[in-house]
Amino acid sequence: MSDSLIKPQTLKGFRDYLPGAALAREKLTEIAREVYRSYGFSPIDTPALEYSQILLGKGGDESDKQLFRFTDQGERDVAMRFDLTVPFARFAAQHLNDIGTPFKRYHIGTVWRAEKPQRGRYREFMQCDFDTIGTDSNASDIETLLVIHDLMERIGFTAFTIRVNHRKLLNGLLESLGLADKSAAVLRALDKLPKIGADAVTSELTAAAGTSSEQAEKVLAFAGLTGAPEQILTDVEKQLAGNETGLDGVARLRELFDCAAQAGLPSERIALDVSIARGLDYYTGTIYETFLNDLPQIGSVCSGGRYDNLAGLFTRQPLPGVGASLGLDRLLAAMEELGLTGDVSTPAEVLIVFFDANHTGRYMRLGRLLRQSGIAAEVFPQAKALKKQLQYADRKGFRVALIAGDREFADGVWQVKDLQQQEQQTVADDGIVEAVRGILASA
């Protein structure tokens, strides 16, 4: 032990994950992995550090400023990845011959951004992406919708809405209104609709985007279309006045809703929202956002879309693709708010109380027996007062305590304590697994 201690602290904007939070996050990433794999998406990984040149300018000026960037021991200009998309573009270009196309990957990894720290925003966070690249087939767009649906359902949500749109609908409308050259400004204004309302958007359309008030009205009427998907699509077809771009978007969305229904997705979980203009600079086709019906205010928890070309900066081979990203931090916050996470900080359900070091081997043997039966069991590591050990079990969230000393070992029995019901029974050695299973099943 040294005389002057170093203060144990994390950097500003960084945090430790204690067991409760780490268990919740692991549960989410395990579900994501299982769902991605069930569709044939393969894992990949890329380094935390890249040549700065690979990362710079890919996320805009703001993102460049947020890079953790430095010169390494070999005088290389390096930086920590700020997302998983740019490394994936580099990866795809570098390994194209090995991976072939179509290529479906998922990537769950940590990324770093030197953002101004604020509540709920950290400089280190985990992303959880999946993408299909090398094909512009609508089947991949449909599959992306199915994956998002399964993710939400497997996590435990029942009331959620995946809002879908297609960039070509708005592009088609703007073409047919003679506003194609103003689409960036129009989309930027439209993106603010939920926040600032129709009047303010109209002002911005006429002022910043330079539309006529008649054009602005048409754009807003379009963005305001609501109803069942097929009804909206029929309305959109009329407004598009035969525009080819727009009709292609309509056809793709129509196929998406048809196939989703055929595949058995509940129709109330998928909505067509022609006003979504997310990812203005990046997405070119189908767009996805996912909202929890009970917590819409936290924003989209799973978003994505189709893009024309993933890796144009690294290869001349065009790589169209479609994918989405599960928002782990938002989901964890939502699950906590909805009471979907428990107050548990142990992955084990059974605590074997430790009474007497003469019986260590017996405690270990019972632990092993339970594990072989698929029940996670912890042996308390040392003799301490029963009360202390039961406090430990309560604090961590164990469900069952198994207790035995000289007398029980002489009789060939254990005391089996249900920690939730506070009930205790005496059970013979060969009945322990069954007794524990009974308590765990009664939750």
Instruction: Compute the least distance from the CB of residue 414 to its own copies, in Å.
Output: 16
Task: Please give the Cα distance from 433 to 435 (Å, whole number).
Answer: 6
Instruction: Compute the least distance from the CB of residue 41 to its own copies, in Å.
Output: 7
Between helix 167-176 and helix 183-190 the angle, nearest 10°, is: 120
Task: Please give the Cα distance from 173 to 176 (Å, whole number).
Answer: 5
Nearer to its own copies, 70 or 282 (CB): 70
Q: Which of 59, 63, 64, 139 touches its own copies by CB under 8 A?
A: 139
Q: Which of 83, 129, 131, 143 touches its own copies by CB under 8 A?
A: 143
Binding part of the chain for its own copies, among 230-238, 240-248, 253-261, 430-438 by CB under 8 A, reads 253-261
Binding part of the chain for its own copies, among 184-192, 205-213, 242-250, 255-263 by CB under 8 A, reads 255-263
Binding part of the chain for its own copies, among 163-171, 185-193, 236-244, 252-260 by CB under 8 A, reads 252-260
Q: Which of 63, 94, 206, 415 touches its own copies by CB under 8 A?
A: 94
Torsion of CA 356, 362, 368, 370, to 10 degrees: -90
Task: Please give the Cα distance from 415 to 422 (Å, whole number).
Answer: 12
Binding part of the chain for its own copies, among 130-138, 177-185, 190-198, 244-252 by CB under 8 A, reads 130-138
Q: Give the binding-site size for its own copies (rule: CB under 8 A).
A: 114
Q: Which of residues 387-426 bind its own copies (CB under 8 A)?
A: 392, 395
Q: Which of 209, 233, 253, 311 touches its own copies by CB under 8 A?
A: 311
Would you give the binding string for its own copies spanning residues 51-90, x where CB under 8 A is met?
x-xx-------------x-xxxxx-x-x-x---------x
Q: Which of 357, 403, 402, 338 is nearest to 376 (CA)?
A: 402
Instruction: Compute the least distance from the CB of residue 71 to its own copies, in Å.
Output: 8
Instruction: Compute the least distance from the CB of residue 108 to its own copies, in Å.
Output: 10
Q: Which of 97, 118, 297, 382 touches its own copies by CB under 8 A?
A: 382
Instruction: Compute the least distance from the CB of residue 209 to its own copies, in Å.
Output: 28
Q: Which of 391, 302, 402 is nearest to 350 (CA)?
A: 402
Torsion of CA 142, 144, 149, 154, to 10 degrees: 140
1 binds its own copies (CB under 8 A): yes
Instruction: Compute the least distance from the CB of residue 410 to its own copies, in Å.
Output: 17
Task: Please give the Cα distance from 211 to 219 (Å, whole number).
Answer: 10
Q: Which of residues 314-333 bind its own copies (CB under 8 A)?
A: 314-316, 318
Q: Which of residues 358-377 bind its own copies (CB under 8 A)?
A: 360-365, 367-368, 371, 376-377
Instruction: Compute the least distance from the CB of residue 358 to its own copies, in Å.
Output: 10
Q: Which of 85, 127, 138, 165 touches its own copies by CB under 8 A?
A: 138
Unique residue bearing structure tokens 């002022």: 207
443 binds its own copies (CB under 8 A): no
Q: Which of residues 331-350 bind its own copies (CB under 8 A)?
A: 345-348
Nearer to its own copies, 92 or 177 (CB): 92
- Residue count of the chain: 443
- 374: its two tokens: 């698929």
Let me know: does 396 contact 345? Beta carbons within 8 Å.
yes
Nearer to its own copies, 37 or 192 (CB): 37
Nearer to its own copies, 15 or 192 (CB): 15
175 binds its own copies (CB under 8 A): no
Largest CA distance in the chain: 93
Does the bond joining 102 to the residue before it have cis omega, within 30 degrees of 0? yes
Local structure of residue 287 (DSSP, 8 states)? E
The secondary element (H helix, E strand) that includes residue 124 is strand 124-133
- 377: its two tokens: 């069991």
110 binds its own copies (CB under 8 A): yes
Let me know: does 277 contact 303? Beta carbons within 8 Å.
no
CA dist list (Å): 104 to 8, 41, 92, 130, 131: 42, 5, 11, 7, 6
Dump the DSSP string for 341-356. Answer: S-S---S-SEEE----
Q: Which of 112, 150, 436, 110 is nearest to 265 (CA)?
A: 150
Nearer to its own copies, 23 or 179 (CB): 23
Q: Which of 59, 63, 64, 150 touches its own copies by CB under 8 A?
A: 150
Q: Which of 67, 340, 287 is nearest to 163 (CA)?
A: 287
Unique residue bearing structure tokens 């011959």: 97
Nearer to its own copies, 94 or 206 (CB): 94
